[in-house]
Amino acid sequence: MRESFLTFGSPVIGEEEIAEVVDSLRSGWVGTGPKVARFETMLGDYVGARHTRCLSSCSAALLLAMRGLGIGAGDEVLVPAMTFVASANAVEHVGAKPVLVDSVEGTGLIDLDAAEAAITPRTRAIMPVHLAGRPVDMDRVNAVRDRHGLLVIEDAAHAIGSEWAGRRLGSFGNATAFSFYVTKNISTIEGGALMTDDAELAAEVERLALHGLSSGAWQRFSDDGFRHYEVVRPGFKYNMTDVQAALGLHQLPRLDTWIERRARLWERYDELLSGLPLQTPPAPDPRTRHSRHLYQVQVEPGGPLTRDELIAALVTRRIGTGVHYRGVHLHPFYRDTYGLDSADFPVATDLSDRTLSLPLSPTLSEADQNDVVEALGASLRAGTRS
């Protein structure tokens, strides 16, 4: 039994980040300013996208991308059933209809065959989600896009640093949203970014993120002199602050090293868990670089414990875990609004019932990992399914 609770998804915050935040506080630039601009440049260079706009969250990036692309009432957007509800919520918020698509067994990624079969004359866009940091087949996504004249909004909340066929996600010519939430591979506590090669979309997202103003605070109050703003359309308050970007400036240069550490821990989990009644995640596609955001296991059907019973047992042994996710179709709003049946999404439903995520971060020690595996083994051996 551990003496201290092993928290799932703790951020890695170093002294350089702390010093940069303090510098922001002392500078007077705590809102959107020069550090956000620097972070945007760093992100664009890292991913290989022409334009980057940092925002308050990945959810904001998804919503503003769709607003900027003109998706709205009467349109349908294909969304995987196995994702966090923020993906579908963004579609709802622009007045469009999310059309849910089942998953591929094992990976949980959107089933692109099912997605293509679900296309109707009202389908405007598809939203592939790079779940757990595992890239969706971007060759196929873009082929579907081009074949049917669709827009693509990639939800890469889990996938900063992931690659498909040697190219980083965000560089495939689509609007791509990233998250820097507290549990992500790099964190600005809250925050996200939209990357695009479309200069007009980037400009529109920047306007919409700050009330629809023609210029932001940094531009209006910089050394270039004061300029009046004008509201060109009603926008939102979705900007990132310099205090947040201060963290990202030092997190991003460490990302690749952290992904390598996550990969080593991932492989060690595979070895340590081989004798337990759990299904470990499939190996990454050799064409990809997996950012190893989540290490997800599935309890065996009819095994000694249900997923929720196993989570509860691990808590008593001071091990924190996560559930990623309960499918969108299982939440009351979507189930009731669209008359969805869990049987229509059998893979996503099964994943919703049997999957849990184990602690995984660059600071996780082998001793911590041993504690996780020992707690899993002891819980499963002692378990009696209710």
Beta strands in the chain (DSSP E): 51-55, 76-80, 97-101, 123-126, 151-156, 163-164, 167-168, 175-179, 192-196, 278-279, 288-289, 295-299, 355-358
- Sheet with strand 288-289: strands edge to edge: 167-168, 163-164, 288-289
CA distance 119 to 110: 14
What is the distance, to the nearest Å, from the Cα of residue 144 to the centroid of all Cα atoms in its chain?
Answer: 22
Q: Is position 35 annotated as part of the catalytic site? A: no
**Do you find a cis peptide bond into 269, omega within 30 degrees of 0?**
no
CA distance 46 to 51: 12
Sign of dihedral through CA atoms 48, 50, 54, 59? negative
CA distance 105 to 112: 12
Burial zone of 286 (CB within 10 Å; 0-12 exposed, 13-18 middle, 19+ buried): exposed
Q: Are 56 and 191 in contact, with CB atoms under 8 Å apart?
A: yes
- Give the CA radius of gyration of the chain: 21
Active-site option among 35, 97, 184, 237: 184
Helices (H) and strands (E) in the chain, counts: 14, 13
Catalytic residues: 184
